[in-house]
Structure 1
Amino acid sequence: MRLRTLFQTFLHMRIRTKLSILITLIIAVSLSFTIALQQYAFSIYDGQIYDKSSRVLNLSSKAIETELKRIQQLSFRLMSEDQVQNWLNALKANPSDYDKHLLSQLLTDKLISYAGEEPHLYSIQLIDAFGSEYAGGNMISQDPNKRKSILDKAAEGTGESRWMFPDAVDAALILTREIRSFHSSNFDLSYLGTLEIRINIEKIIQDLAPAEGDLIIASGNSIIFPRAQPFSLSEIEAAFTDGKGYTNKEINGEEYFITRIQSANSGWTYINVTPFKQIFDRILFIKELVVFVFIGIFIVVFAIGIRFSYSLTKPIEELMARMKLAEKGNFEEANLLASGGQVSMNEIGLLQRSFRFMIERINTLIQENYTNRLLIKETEFKALQSQINPHFLYNTLESINWMAKVNKQSEISAMVEALAHLLRNSIDLKEPIIPLREELDIVQSYVTIQKMRFEDRLQFELEVPEAMLACPIPKLTLQPLMENAIHYALETIIDPCRITIRGWRTEGNVFLSVEDTGPGMPPGILDRLRNGEIRTKGKGIGLLNIDDRIKLAFGDMYGIQIDDNRTEGAIIVLRLPGEGEAIS
């Protein structure tokens, strides 16, 4: 019952109060949820850091071992070269001092070329069967005991590679192996010498291992890297009791994060020791910072929310007051802006602007409605009046025609009939596309009138096959071309002028040409007209008008073409679709 009462009270609250309560609840719930989610996310993040550190160490170890394996392959490639085998076999045969000197030089050059191509090597040294030494790179002198231990280590492998770790005197990781004779001409696996490759393990780790933390490489109880050991290996190993690849260990009063993996390829152990604070201090700081930031955000957002709710509800209340005025029919007062002036451009402001425009539009529509009623009546009257004018003109022409026939003036009668036919077709635009037959009738009527004017100076010929008369053509297409031919050809010369309309078909298209024997047309006139370079003097239907109407009716592939290669006369060709083709 109490919940229902609270709900009813909330429903009847003002929007401003509802927004304030709602914003407060949203922020409080969000803050609680975010803090809980943050703790969960950081716990997952801690685990991901552990796993990532292990993966990084794994990738580093693989990169280091890949590089060492590549150096192993280099040692095999060097000892198996035919030239090296031949030179060592020749040295074993105890040659002359001169030949021995040449062979020594060749071996030294070969070792120098190999050592110079490898950035991670100190030197490559080779000891032949008689104990003579050849080297390429930064060679150091070794005491006899170290030399003997290297030879003994190589002998254990009988051709396979063996490792010797850095010591207090020599920082190099040494790969050594015996060279056996397995040349095709002497495959007896006899001892030819010992190969010693001194590797800069510190440079390999700098290039391929992570810079964060201290990396330790061990083989059993032997330390491969680094030479100066800051941590006790046994103490680190004792920390891994749960079988995981990472752990936390306090060493010398400071806590460290330690990850460890063992290589399945070499059996070496890779350990990364990183100060715990170096990784996790920033995370702990972020955890505390997030809590304080959210509390500050809660206070700021609450204050902004209260102000926002007020700014949101105030324009709504003003709009409601105007709507009440509009409801009573008081549009002018409802259209006034609120005191204070400028309307914002947010949704509420746009709603106010829309309401004001609506009120203005209603007032405008009331005025326009009254004006439109007057215009409609006036238009209806003019439409009725305009219907009288053409009928009066046709009746007058019929009267003139009748009087001409009564007085036996056949030429006047023919001219009047042609004029009436021409006027009817010019005024009637209900059918914009007509058969070619009807268009030629219009042309004939126009020619009849012009014959009366120019008599024998106008020689008209029509050469259109009967089969083309049903083809579609835009109305008043040929007649303007005839008019242009008379205006620009016949009227500009004294001699008779022949105007011919021809028609033919080609590949489903219909072509009509209007030809005259006048002075001709300037080249490129159609393009120049379209570009505005020249302007026509006439007031009738021009070439561009005809070309545009054909393209609008049938498509861009149709239209007007002008033969620019003629020196006398002019030919205008119309390209149209054949009979029965679709009209766009």
Structure 2
Amino acid sequence: MFYSLKNRLIVFFAVLLFVSFGTMSYLFFTESRSIIRSYIESSAYEKMDEYGSFVNMALAQIYDVSSIVFNSHTTKSWATALSDPGLPAGEKMLANIDLSQFLTQTTNNYSIVSSITVYRQEGMWISADNQIMNDSSFKSEQWYDHFITRGNEWVSAHQDPVEVLRSKPFDVLSLLLPIGTFEPSQSKNMMKINVRSAFFLEPLNRIHLGEKGTIFLLDGEGNPILGQHEYASHPEAAKQMGAIRDNRLQNGVVYLKNNQGARDILVYKKLKLNNWLLVGIVPEADLYGKLYKLRASMLIFVALLLVAAIAAAIWLSHGISRPLSRLASAMRYVQIGDFDGAENRITNEDKVRNEVGYVTATFRNMVSRLRQHIKTEFELKLLRQQAEYKSLLMQINPHFLFNTLELLSSLAMQHRIQDTVRVIESLGKMMRFSLKISNDLITLEEEMIYVRHYVSILQIRFADRLHITFQEDETLRQSVIPKFILQPLIENAVKYSFREQAEAKVIIRVRQDHNRLILTVADNGPGIPKELSQQLQAESLASQFEQILNSRSQQIGLRNVLARCQLYYGALFAFKIDSTLQQGTCIELMLPIQGGMTDV
């Protein structure tokens, strides 16, 4: 009875499944743990490299600011004036005001810097915005003592009294440098450059190692720079800082035992510019917790599968049942779209011995080709759509920038200094916003702020000849739209309105119609021919984005906006062009209302 096909199938399936799945589970667990550990280390190095580059860039700017203050003629003149006992008090006060104005200008030129304060050993300090104080309380501060006695240039996150006086009660990171000499203990004057701790801390908090891992930024003595108090919960890591600083390796991995007896993984990287240290700590259990659960699940699955196989073998005693069963199982995987599972269920035989083998080989070949075809088509379509959208978005800024630069040139030639400054300020805010390309969607409020900066430039350019009116529904400010879809329409409206008349009138409306956001730009220009309006509708329906990208026509701004909205919303987007020749044009964009940063 043992040699019957049924019994042999039972024994064969039991041994095969137990050995194969047991071996696979062990190898899978061991290899997965090695892969996860390697991935965490490489991922940590990569993230630390990116953040290290960010820190080096920021420090370079801070040192640039300190160099400007140190080598400034204004600073030297101030130091000379205050050291002259024969100089009248009024002249000294003028020198103080000149230095404060210089610090204000320098601070405004570097957005990374929160404030710059110059301290005098005699007991006074000067900061931006005409802050001149005879106050020697700073001498009792710990940072001042460490700077004079130890030469510590960097101060970890703390509350600066200067910032508090300016109603800015946030933590700052500070660089201390002497003025007029390179030896702190011999200096009569010193500068303190404050940078918001959040500037370094926010990007650092966005870096994660596992679910509970944290990265800390430490100074040369191994103390947290950014006020990360949770570092105190890792005393075992602090004990390793001396050995890490003394070795010559720029990065590495150390395995520690925490207070609970479990192991932690410490990944570190040294920053070359000022001997700072990036340290990432992640519990090993955090990395492998899900893997242990997966191993237990696999064991349960193996046991259940073994019982099922034994029960199936009792009924399947014919030799053809096994390949047919696998073929049917593979078909089920294909039905749910799992082509890898389908191929794994079908053996790849070198020779076809019978009809069942031919059917199996043909089906496997069909699955492989079908999977490759679907993958290729999906990736090509996705990449093409992303490239088209980014290319359309990049067409906006150069065109606007050239026009604004021409305006600045004209204002400079006319010696209109105030208007030039206003244009530069508006342009700077627009370009700063334009360079934020991480998000393709923004709130309507942000878009309107960007548009108002643009309109302020147009008002300076055209003065009383341009009349622009805003009609907004305040309840729609948090609605989400693709960025830069109003400015090209306004630019076209102004340009064509001035083509045949001395004054241009543009109306910008924002309203809601049921569940749709309606953005309208109306002008008093010459109007759009009916044929062109029909052509734009046809291009939108046909999604002719390649023609728009290569187009050199004057309607590139309008086509660009329509194409980007069509790419983002598809059939949910619609637009309407209402135009009368010699009377004006009204363009309406109809978008679905969104309340969050979520793609349609």
Instruction: Name the TM-score, length of structure 2 as normaliser.
Output: 0.38
Larger Rg: 1
Instruction: Name the TM-score, length of structure 1 as normaliser.
Output: 0.39
Structure of higher RCO (CA pairs closer than 8 Å, 6+ residues apart): 2
